[in-house]
Amino acid sequence: MEMAALWKLSYGMYAIGTLDGERPTGCIVNTVIQITSDNPVIAISMNKKNYTYECIKRSGRFAVSVLSEQTSQNVIAKLGFSSGRDTDKFDGDIFDWEYMDGLPVVKENSCAHITAEVVSMTEMETHFVILARVKDAVVTSNYTPMTYKYYHEVIKGKAPKNAPTYQAPEAKQDKETWVCGVCGYIYEGDLTQEPDDFVCPVCKQPKSMFEKQ
């Protein structure tokens, strides 16, 4: 089977927001699709290991923020490369957010916000496919929605192992390389020459998270 054929599928970039009791939490997904048009139903694919999955299961609700090409990498780093199990992702001033129908949505440079209630959850090996009925939807700007292709090719972003479309980074043989242990970003050259406060440009983790290949 040629896995490269699956890499030809198209996706977007979204922030899922939900509630851990009263605490807002969530994560980045590239998998949101509209299933029906009348009284619309959407679907997301959520890794079982993600804390967001547990919170959606408990609360039965989530919001989708459609990210734009203007969305800062800080939003993706905070929501997509750390876990709500051990961090308050919506705390601090890293990005602007607000509540819509009591669910957290990313305000900063988003294109649209959608809130939904879970209808069913179908278990696959690593992920749950969550079907949800749309409760409300609003367009928030005319910015161009960020596609997964744009995130990879223009922003040079990566996805962690929990993403359903994860591709392992390819090691380069001819140069010294260091790989970020969190997102797989490949640094070419001698990382030890970078200052101590160097952070991964994709997931913002410290230099200590890199391993020499």
| Binding residue (CB under 6 A) for ligand FMN from 51, 90, 95, 97 | 51
| Binding residue (CB under 6 A) for ligand FMN from 19, 42, 43, 45 | 45
Regarding 29 and contact with ligand FMN (CB under 6 A), the answer is yes
| Binding residue (CB under 6 A) for ligand FMN from 19, 27, 42, 103 | 27
d(CA 33, CA 137): 14
Nearer to ligand FMN, 161 or 212 (CB): 161
Closest distance to ligand FMN from the beta carbon of 128 (Å)? 9
Nearer to ligand FMN, 184 or 210 (CB): 184
Q: What are phi and psi of 86, to 5 degrees?
A: -125, 10
Regarding 167 and contact with ligand FMN (CB under 6 A), the answer is no
Give contact residues for ligand FMN (rule: CB under 6 A). 25, 27-31, 45-47, 50-52, 76, 80-85, 151, 157, 159-160, 162-164
